[in-house]
Each structure stands twice: as C-alpha cells, then as structure tokens.
Chains A and B, each alone.
Chain A
Amino acid sequence: MFDTSHLSRRQMLQFAGGAAVYGALPIITARPAEATPAMLASAIRDLVGEATVKVGKVKLEIPPLVENGNTVPMTVSVDSPMTADDHVKSVHVFNEKNPQPNIGNFHLGPRAGRAKVTTRIRLADSQKVTAIAQLSDGSFWSGSVDVIVTLAACTEEVP
C-alpha cells in the first residue's frame, strides 16, 4: 500500500483509470470525521502485528465521569518490576471515538523504575480508552476503561 496523499487529483484519476485496466482498485481514503472501530483495530494491528494481546497488568485511571472532555487527567501504569531483564518497553494508548485512534505512546525502559505515566487527554465523547504495553520479552498486555464525557452547557464565541 503506497501513500496516495501527495498525488494531484488529476494523477489520482489517471491512476484510477489505469488501475481499472489492470484490475487493481486504489483505495483513496478521505479523512473521516470520527474514528471507526476499524481504524482503532488497524492502529492496534500496526503496533502488535499478528501477536496476541493478553488482558492484564495494565491499569488505566481516568475519572469515570469527566467534567470537561477538553482536559481529562489520565494515568496509565503497568505492573512490572522494571529490571533490565523484565521491564516495559512502551505503552500505547488508544481511543475509539476521537477523530484519530492514537492518544500517545510512551517509551520507557529499565531506567524508569516505575511504569507509570500521567498526562491530560481530550475525549470527544463517552467512549472506551485502551492502553497496550509492550514488555521486554516481546509480549503485549492491555487494559481498558469506559469513560462518560459531559459537555459544557453553553457554547460561546471565541473572544
């Protein structure tokens, strides 16, 4: 699958016409307004490939009822001794209903001492947030949490 984003419209149409002759259809993806479960699954697959993701070890702490979806405190932690032989290499956080499936990737290692990262995220709607950790032995572990997001009562103009 090659990157079509740099082609002009004319080139794309020419290609489409040409490809039809050869029997291969190019896929032109317009930017979707919101993520679909397929995008989320695809993003996770980009990370783990064909490996199985086991459920466990990963804890996501997000307030179950969020006051404002613009700034949501999130802590992701992984149960790991964080030694040179047994540690978390990276933690990847995904969501299902924002325009994009990725939230953040955090690269750790034995120097971290504790696999725990806190940040603030944006959630467009009530949804599930999933975190997948890659351990030093190559295994993948995941944890999820369901979050309810309320919105501000009044919209306003920008000042």
Chain B
Amino acid sequence: MASALVNVPPKAKKGAVIEIRTLMSHIMEPGYRRTAAGDLVPRDIITSFSCRFNGEEIFRADLFPAIAANPFLSFFTVATESGKFEFEWIGDNGFVANASATITVEA
C-alpha cells in the first residue's frame, strides 16, 4: 500500500509563489545495514522525484540513501494558470508511485 500525502493550496492568485509539500511512504533502505547474521540488506530507495504542471516539469529531485525514510519534500512554484500537478516517484526494484492535485488560479 504505497501512500502519498501531497499538499497543494487549492486556490492561488496568478503570479503568487506557492509551496507544495509531499510525503511518500517508503523504507529508503540505504544498502549499508546488515542483518543479525551479517548479510548486507540490499539498497531499496526512491531515486527520483518529479513534479509536472500541465505536462511541464517544474521540479525534479535526485535522491540518495542519505534521504530519510518516508521522504518528505517541500518546494515552491509560481502559480501561472489553473491546472493539474502530477507527481511521480521512481525507485529501485521497479518502484513507481503517482499522485496528482489540482489548483484553481485566479487573476
């Protein structure tokens, strides 16, 4: 059950700088831990996060094992027009998760 918590203001004025917050549940196994038997626990992390607005990429992050579990990312964007944000998380072992949110932008 991969779950994402995304927070986008539902309304904004055109030209306003708005904050977007995202939280994705993921273990972010760094690949340096060992089991009690001494075996290395293989890396299993989200490697990339991207945010598109009306199809155009507005933010992208490359993530490494140093990013904490259940990665939280907050970033900013300029409200230009009404539309849809699409969020995508991609990671090891074929991990893909998507979420979306809409915004109404008033002049």
Do chains A and B directly touch (beta carbons under 8 Å) in the complex? Answer: yes
The interface of chain A, by Cβ under 8 A from chain B, is 70-72, 95, 98-100, 102-109, 111-123, 157
User: How far apart sit A5 and B61, CA to CA, in the bound complex (Å)?
Assistant: 26
Chain B residues 83 to 104 lying within 8 A of chain A, measured CB to CB, are none
- Shortest A126–chain B CB gap in Å is 15
User: How far apart sit A153 and B41, CA to CA, in the bound complex (Å)?
Assistant: 24
User: How far apart sit A27 and B63, CA to CA, in the bound complex (Å)?
Assistant: 27
- Shortest A141–chain B CB gap in Å is 19
Residues of A within 8 A of B60 (CB): 106-107
Residues of A within 8 A of B72 (CB): 118-120
Number of interface residues of B (CB under 8 A): 28
- Shortest B37–chain A CB gap in Å is 12
Contact B74–A104 (Cβ < 8 Å): no
User: How far apart sit A32 and B78, CA to CA, in the bound complex (Å)?
Assistant: 42
Contact B77–A111 (Cβ < 8 Å): yes
Contact A107–B61 (Cβ < 8 Å): yes
Can you name 15 A-B residue pairings with CB atoms under 8 Å?
A: A99-B30, A102-B66, A107-B59, A111-B53, A112-B75, A112-B77, A113-B77, A117-B61, A117-B75, A119-B61, A119-B67, A121-B67, A122-B30, A122-B65, A122-B66
Contact B76–A114 (Cβ < 8 Å): yes
- Shortest A45–chain B CB gap in Å is 17
- Shortest A69–chain B CB gap in Å is 9
Q: Which residue of B lies closest to A107 (CB)?
A: B60
User: How far apart sit A62 and B43, CA to CA, in the bound complex (Å)?
Assistant: 26
Residues of B within 8 A of A123 (CB): 66
Residues of B within 8 A of A109 (CB): 58
Given contacts A70-B68, A99-B65, A100-B64, A119 and B59 within 8 Å (CB-CB): no
Q: Which of A72, A100, A103, A108 is in CB contact (< 8 Å) with B59? A: A108
Contact B66–A120 (Cβ < 8 Å): no
User: How far apart sit A98 and B64, CA to CA, in the bound complex (Å)?
Assistant: 11
- Shortest B50–chain A CB gap in Å is 9
Q: Which of B30, B58, B73 is in CB contact (< 8 Å) with A119? A: B73
